[in-house]
Amino acid sequence: MKEINLYTTDEASLVGRCKSNDPQAQQALYYAYADDMLLLCLRYVVNQEDAREVLMDAFFSFYKNIGSFSYNGEGSVKAWLKKIVVNQCLMHLRKRTTFAASAKDAADYADTSGGEEILAALAAKEILKRIQALPDEFRTVFNLFVFEGKSHKEIGALLEIPENTSKSHLHRAKTMLQKQLSQAYC
């Protein structure tokens, strides 16, 4: 497998060359970020085949729309690419999952924290497996809240669900995860 060292090539100039549809620059960026982005896809999409397809579509979209991207320093490419990948994952999930559920006025869901010590003790691969085992709608809200740092309001807008439903899904995801992790740990 070819390894392309991104650090020997200025990322800003790579972006510039990608805007001119330079295949070598495109390849360099692909090799730099494909692994991380595929791991991100696997958190949302679970199935490896589907995740690879979503990743392909995401990178395709990334290169096609790179003309509208302004390089803002280190990390800006990854951040923008991450947004595209997450959106692509959500589009894929929307085809097979209905996120909507009716909900009344906001209820204060008690904090389900605690369990950090279990998380710290378990292997990362084990945690990923447990996250992947969550139902689609819970896992999606969980990923958006915990890893993407979205608020329930933002999640509601993204998934077109009430804010309350987002809170409920997160609560249930955490409860399920905590239960599974406790069983795995014990």
Partner 1 sequence: MEKDYNQVLNEKMNLLPVREVLQGFDKDAEWSLLASRLHPVQRQQRPFRRLWAAAALLLLLVGTGAWFFSTLRPATDRQVVGVMAGDWVSMVYTPPAPTHTDVIAATALDMPEHQQSSTSIIKEGPPAPQITLATEPAVVHHTGEYICNATPCPIEICIIQKPRCPGMQNKAVATCSILQPDQQGQIKYKAIARNAPGCRLEVEEIRIRRVTTGETIVLTNHSGNVTARELFDYMTGNEKSSIVAGAFDVDCNNECNRHSLTIGNGMGSLLLQ
The 3-state DSSP class for residue 71 equals coil
DSSP 158-171: HHT--HHHHHHHHH
Contact call for residue 149 and partner 1 (CB under 8 A): yes
Q: Which of 59, 77, 88, 134 binds partner 1 (CB under 8 A)?
A: 59
Q: In angstroms, rounded to a whole number, what is the distance separating the alpha carbons of residues 143 and 165? A: 15
* Window of 69-77, 79-87, 119-127, 150-158 that interacts with partner 1 by CB under 8 A: 119-127
**Using rule CB under 8 A, residue 125 touches partner 1:** yes
Q: Which long-range contacts (CB under 8 A, 24 or more apart) does 19-24 make?
A: 19/66, 19/67, 21/63
Rule CB under 8 A: is residue 71 a binding residue for partner 1?
A: no
23 binds partner 1 (CB under 8 A): yes
Rounded least distance, CB 10 to partner 1, Å: 21
C-alpha to C-alpha distance for 67 and 62, rounded to whole angstroms: 9
Return the SS3 of 149: coil
Give yes or no for residue 133 binding partner 1 (CB under 8 A).
no
3-class DSSP state of 123: coil
- Give residues in contact with partner 1 (CB under 8 A): 1-2, 21, 23, 26-27, 30-31, 34-36, 38-39, 42-43, 48, 52, 55-56, 59-60, 63, 101-105, 107-116, 119-120, 122, 124-125, 127-128, 135, 145-147, 149, 164-165, 168-169, 171-172, 174-175
